[in-house]
A and B are shown apart, each in its own frame.
Chain A
């Protein structure tokens, strides 16, 4: 019997009157008797009373002291009782769990997976949506995105320097404001050539982001303002460590950037990677040259700023709307259909991913509810089975409170065991799942880590729902008519009510599971739909590699062509490669540029905005694009031969409705000069965005030029492989194979600084299947640095 945790119930109840009255009475008696004693010695009654109190000390004080003592003792006693009870409850809970291993296993597993899954999801959401961005006081930071309205759809395009200056000088709500141009510069000299993510920045940049260099300085006003007069740069801490071994003497030293010297004047602190989050080099905009600084239509800048005190995104937006309207009037040509929007840094980085994360979080919440209902149901079912035990214990005299606390303890022990297991599952899930998130889905600042608050939240919900439900039957059975139930053999105690409750839980679970399943189904469906979108190109098995040729060495078309010829030959001859092609850019890899083209004889009113691609002859075959009409590029389409272009079916239908496009001529300049002939039409191809309809794409169609007529220093190598794609893993080998003269000075954009730490070949990260990129939805808010070729950009302002 002593095993049972209600032993104390049998203790004879101490009938405790108010202990305070006892104390008073005790002291009063003493004083009375003492006074009487003094009276017996011949002292007057009043005097005796006074003397008794005086000898006693202060009766009130002593009484208070005694009460305090009594209270302390009572608390101590209760503590001891509770601790003893808790120990018993815990021991009993563990015994119960051991007695029903099946139940325990299911309950703990449910808890562990629900908790683990949710903690993992919430951890990612927490990292993306809630944790601070890697900037100082990031709440006030905003992007100012200029955009064009194309058939009612927003098409975000960067800002130009003149436009940025207009915004900056007129805005009151955003200050300071800075413009950032994403570039890629080749670092050569000592060691391997490396492509540096570079930001060209205007004066207030470092003030906006709130970072100062740990060593050296940022840029002087004249370095920003005087075109091409000062070649200075600030480097990231990462580059300082990787390339210069943290040598402080690097300050003031010249390094070779794009084949020209550049002086390092400052080093930024650890963890600062610019607005691009992985920037290694910052240079002042003065480096760009007067042309880029003055072209109103040369749009490649990201504009950032800080809301002034008291300004909101809404007030700043109102202000910017006015400025944009004024600019439309002042520059009707360059600012036609041009607007600007303000978004917070977080929204800017998240883009549409933010919405996805909330959906994910909702799904996690539903899962949590299902798990809670599941656990509650398990406890219900089990407590049903334990009715007999409870009734018996009640009959033997157990207090209601003791039984309730016993059941609570059991829920608690389950929660703790499940919680520990859940923590393990969460850690495992993050470890295994986080690397599976495709690059680019989450903004670069997100590092999913196990979030303590996420875990605590999940655990609290589960325990509360599960634990409280476990109480319902306990409380119900404490109200039972024990005698009757014992007689009935306690078979169907509270059956009706319990079954109802069980049904409620089952219905809720099924309903929630259905919601989750429908949601998951829809997600899978749209994912499948995205996968099966006919992009017009076939990029299964295509590997891509980006190479950028520094302007210093490759200053003429001839040098670029010489390199390109060698590059194409090298890749074509790699084993396992069935075809290789070069292009200025590839589908879904960014880096495209836009310009205007004109119908023959119609002047500049008939201008058509298009995306320009320079490609070699095997490009269409390598990417599986189909020819609809005419011919593809051939070996004769070279420098000196008549200029040729290939357009898409959509463009042909739009520009030459009802006519044959092949053979038509178009002009690259508004004055009708620089003519090219359309020699072929290919089937429509999606180049930038899977979710954009072909109709919208047709508004800025793709036009292909022969690489051997219009070369590009940005070179993408596309390789169609047969069998294992990794056979052509090391592109550097191919680049270097060009020979000692050509190999040095080519920056291979491989993100090499991230790879060695993972023990992978340095090139792996960039040589990824192009398919992977396709699965990454294009995010409008995230298009910060589209295209990095100012040469092509400049053409936009024609």
Chain B
């Protein structure tokens, strides 16, 4: 698995996870990921959008234009049924994978 694939897959899961409970617009998603990861996953923030659009194209997300709390027009993303299923599968895989990596690296390395 190449680094970019790893990253792409990770970002997808993070987005789906973030959106799972409630629809959000792009900025809110970015902010939630930043806050949630405590800045560890600080990447080029703009990379969020290609990921969002790609997920939308794959039918894992649905988008709709709506109004923000302050009345601004914004595109809200929402996880579809396919998206929820995908998230379930990938999250399980990810936990398994990161567990395996952690086991190999061992407590000494921490």
Q: Footprint of B on A, CB under 8 Å?
A: 22-23, 25-27, 29-30, 33-34, 37, 55-59, 62, 65-66, 69-70, 73
Contact = CB atoms under 8 A, between A and B. Distances in A.
Nearest to B56: A73
B44 A34 contact: no
Main secondary structure of the interface of A (DSSP, over half): helix
A69 B44 contact: no
Contact of B30 (A22, A30, A59): A30
A68 to B, nearest CB: 10
15 contacts: A26-B49, A30-B26, A30-B27, A30-B30, A55-B44, A55-B45, A56-B45, A57-B47, A58-B46, A62-B46, A62-B50, A65-B50, A66-B49, A69-B50, A69-B54
Contact of A57 (B46, B53, B72): B46
A59 B48 CA distance: 12
Interface string B76-105: 000000000000000000000000000000
Interface string B36-77: 000000001111011001100100000001000000111100
Contacts of B30: 30, 34
A25 B49 CA distance: 12
A26 B66 CA distance: 12
A25 B73 contact: yes
B53 A56 contact: no
Interface of B: 25-27, 30-31, 44-47, 49-50, 53-54, 57, 65, 72-75
Contacts of B26: 26, 29-30
B46 A29 contact: no
Nearest to A76: B57
Contacts of B74: 26, 29
A37 to B, nearest CB: 7
A116 to B, nearest CB: 50
A469 B57 CA distance: 42
Nearest to A53: B46
Contacts of B44: 55-57
B68 to A, nearest CB: 8
B50 A29 contact: no
Contacts of A66: 49-50, 53
A218 to B, nearest CB: 68
A81 to B, nearest CB: 16
A25 B47 CA distance: 16
A538 B27 CA distance: 106
Contacts of A69: 50, 53-54, 57
B12 to A, nearest CB: 15
Contact of B45 (A22, A26, A34, A65): A34
Given A55-B45, A56-B45, A29 B25 contact: yes
B31 to A, nearest CB: 7
B75 A22 contact: yes
Highest count of chain B CB atoms <10 Å: which of A25, A26, A66: A26
A533 B44 CA distance: 98
A22 B26 CA distance: 13
Contacts of A33: 27
A73 B57 CA distance: 7
Contacts of B54: 69
A73 B54 CA distance: 10
